[in-house]
Amino acid sequence: MKLAPDFGSTLREYGNGPTLAVLDKSTGESLAELGTADATDVARAAYDAKTAQRGWADTPAEGRRDVFVRAAELITQNHAELVEWLMRETGGIRHKAEFELLKSRENLLQAAAVTTRPSGEVLPSPVGVLSLARRVPRGVVGVITPWNFPFVLALRMLAPALATGNAVLLKPNPLTPVSGGVLLARLFEEAGLPSGVLQVLPGDADVGEAIVADSRTAMISFTGSTAVGRLVATACAPLLKKCVLELGGNNAFIVLDDADVDAAASAGAWAAFMHQGQVCMTAGKHLVHRSIADAYVERLAERARALRVGDPALGDVQLGPIVSPAQLDRVRRIVDDSIEAGAVVVTGGTHDGPFYSPTVLSEVSELMPAFVEEIFGPVAPVVAFDSDEEAVALANLGDYGLTAAVRSASETRAAAIADQLRSGAVHVNDQTIAYDTWAPFGGMGTSGNGDAFGGTADLEAFAEWQWVTRRAGQTTYPF
């Protein structure tokens, strides 16, 4: 089976709602016409998923495992077509698309391992009593995904949810409904997942709201902006429904005075400009010791000027388009308002259509929008500091706490700073963008709600504890 639909396809089997045009982010060309869901579709899908979930949970572990192994093989077999869809629908360069598929395969193989992992433990108990604590599926999980890495960030939630015996309602972002939805539906169908266990529901916010509100969804897993995450949490709270939120970040990249400036500028450029800065782990504020700040800015700007910007489908470029006009307006507003407040454009600050040039800002202060807000664009704001204590204070300033990095010639000194950062992930002598499927990943503060994805965290997120006791004989009580 060919997983990826042909460009120009009409895909109406995904709901009764209005038709959605799927666009090439570089050219604005329509890649496909896709049917979207409405409230009736959500209710029907939730019913079907709940009906199918019990049989899926009862499937022997090796049977569930094999579905994920076959899905990983299908990604390899359909690599070229999947890369093309990811490039054109997300605006990402080829390297980004290939990285996304690599991590997607890892997610699937990690999920395969989850199916055969011990699901509980034997507890102390009196003679004649067997006392067990075991993890059981939550039931139906609603998964709501973002547009920047739609395939892998869906699988990061979808795969462990399925591996622990749940059924899933998947709502992809309307900017990337094929990469984040249709391709995954076809992948799991071909891999042998039983009918009904995965339901894909493309659409806008009203579809997500219906998934959250439906009494048959036991849990919501959401990756996206902090603003929308607050709405999801607010909707789940009165329903006493578990939600796992991985939200935005404004991540600190700290460069100490003894760091290798060239190496730091290389890491800083990658962390700022990879996928046009449209990554939750992007280095949002470059905190550099004042004694080397000018040198760092100069080298970072040199690297920014050397980057080629354009349509990833047409040539060898390092940066593609900003995903939407609304996001482009946001990047432009933050940069312009920061310039008005005193920031200096060292390079960039302009755009040609959807292509925003990699931008370096110096003289940035902690009161400017480029420091305070999550930009989600190819902009590197540089802030000078005078002491390690000031670096820690600047890094922890604000409500976000997703990821951070510290660079120094002294690993011990960098580690001492890292230990003081309020962040879900901290990387010493590296940069802020890192992802291992077996590592627990989640944010502190307004970057999450305390839960994480990956490794052992998946069992905690997508299964719940049940206490079971068994007695050999039937006991009696005083009354």
- Give the domain CATH number at 182: 3.40.605.10
Residues 261 and 240 in one domain: no
Which pLDDT score, from 0 to 100, does residue 468 have? 97
Q: Is 236 annotated in the active site?
A: no
Residues 215 and 142 in one domain: yes
Q: How many C-beta atoms surround the C-beta of residue 449 within 10 A?
A: 21
* CA-to-CA dists, residue 370 to 180, 282, 332, angstroms: 30, 13, 11
Evaluate whether residue 434 is within a structural domain: no
Evaluate whether residue 440 is within a structural domain: no
Evaluate whether residue 460 is within a structural domain: yes
CA proximity to 273, closest of 233, 228, 214, 317: 317
CB 442 within 8 A of CB 427: no
Q: How far apart are the C-alpha atoms of 250 and 371, rounded to whole Å?
A: 8
CB 299 within 8 A of CB 346: no
Residues 452 and 322 in one domain: no
Residues 260 and 181 in one domain: no
CA proximity to 146, closest of 137, 135, 136, 157: 157
Task: Indicate the pairing of strand 425-428 with strand 463-471.
Answer: unpaired
Evaluate whether residue 287 is within a structural domain: yes
What CATH number is given to the structural domain containing 399? Answer: 3.40.309.10
Residues 371 and 324 in one domain: yes
Q: Is 280 annotated in the active site?
A: yes
* CA-to-CA dists, residue 288 to 104, 276, 291, 424, angstroms: 34, 22, 8, 21
CB 287 within 8 A of CB 383: yes
Q: How far apart are the C-alpha atoms of 75 and 77, rounded to whole Å?
A: 5
Evaluate whether residue 255 is within a structural domain: yes
What does pTM read for this prediction? 0.95
CA proximity to 384, closest of 263, 277, 262, 285: 285
Evaluate whether residue 138 is within a structural domain: yes
Which pLDDT score, from 0 to 100, does residue 456 have? 83
CB 234 within 8 A of CB 449: no
Among 89, 106, 243, 280, which one carries the catalytic annotation?
A: 280
pLDDT of the chain, 479 residues: tens digit per residue: 689 999 999 998 888 899 999 999 999 999 999 999 999 999 999 999 999 999 999 999 999 999 999 999 999 999 999 999 999 999 999 999 999 999 999 999 999 999 999 889 999 998 889 999 999 999 999 999 999 999 999 999 999 999 999 999 999 999 999 999 999 999 999 999 999 999 999 999 999 999 999 999 999 999 999 999 999 999 999 999 999 999 999 999 999 999 999 999 999 999 999 999 999 999 999 999 999 999 999 999 999 999 999 999 998 999 999 999 999 999 999 999 999 999 999 999 999 999 999 999 999 999 999 999 999 999 999 999 999 999 999 999 999 999 999 999 999 999 999 999 999 999 999 999 999 999 999 999 999 988 888 888 888 899 999 999 999 888 889 99
Q: Report the run of H or E that residue 99 belongs to, with start and end.
A: helix 94-114
Instruction: Specify the amino acid at residue 352.
Output: D
Task: Indicate the pairing of strand 140-144 with strand 120-123.
Answer: unpaired
Q: Is 2 exposed, middle or buried (0-12, 13-18, 19+ CB in 10 A)?
A: exposed
Evaluate whether residue 435 is within a structural domain: no
Q: How many C-beta atoms surround the C-beta of residue 221 within 10 A?
A: 27
Residues 161 and 259 in one domain: no
Q: Where are the alpha helices (DSSP H) in 192-289?
A: 205-213, 226-236, 261-273
Q: How far apart are the C-alpha atoms of 385 and 405, rounded to whole Å?
A: 16
C-alpha neighbours within 13 Å on the C-beta side of residue 28: 5
Among 246, 363, 373, 374, which one carries the catalytic annotation?
A: 246
Residues 149 and 167 in one domain: yes
Instruction: Specify the amino acid at residue 115.
Output: T
Q: How far apart are the C-alpha atoms of 285 and 373, rounded to whole Å?
A: 10
Residues 156 and 275 in one domain: no
Residues 262 and 367 in one domain: yes
CB 253 within 8 A of CB 285: yes
Q: How far apart are the C-alpha atoms of 114 and 163, rounded to whole Å?
A: 6
Residues 230 and 218 in one domain: yes
CB 327 within 8 A of CB 354: no
CA proximity to 254, closest of 447, 428, 434: 428
Residues 34 and 125 in one domain: yes
Residues 188 and 332 in one domain: no
CB 458 within 8 A of CB 162: no
Range of the domain at 264: 251-428
Evaluate whether residue 397 is within a structural domain: yes
Instruction: Determine if residue 91 is left, alpha or beta; phi over 0 gives left, psi from -120 to 50 gives alpha, anything else beta.
Output: left
What is the total count of domains within the chain? 2
Instruction: Specify the amino acid at residue 278.
Output: Q
CB 26 within 8 A of CB 321: yes
Which pLDDT score, from 0 to 100, does residue 163 have? 97
Three-class DSSP category at 370: helix
Instruction: Determine if residue 217 is left, alpha or beta; phi over 0 gives left, psi from -120 to 50 gives alpha, anything else beta.
Output: beta
